[in-house]
Amino acid sequence: MTTYDIRIDRENCVGDGLCREEAPGTFDVDGEGKSVVMNPDGDPAEDILRAAQSCPLNVITLLDTRTGATVCP
């Protein structure tokens, strides 16, 4: 069950890959050098949260799928 609606601001993403390091089952870097969500259920929720928090430019937004509330940033 997906805990987060994961959104990435690809225009401002620099593709440093920190999100992929924290949650490799969820995030990857594509051929354009930008982060993408490969599988929103690919890692435990706490790893996905840590991945979003690790983004140096805060381009990853997590919304709680139950409430719609912004969890990160």
Q: Which of 16, 7, 1 is nearest to 63 (CA)?
A: 7
pLDDT per position as a tens digit, 7-22 = 999 999 999 999 999 9
Name the β-bridge partners of 40. Answer: none
| Tokens describing residue 72 | 């990160």
Dihedral of the alpha carbons of 27, 15, 36, 55, in degrees to the nearest 10? 60
pLDDT per position as a tens digit, 27-73 = 999 999 999 999 999 999 999 999 999 999 999 999 999 999 999 99
| 1 pLDDT higher than 90 | no
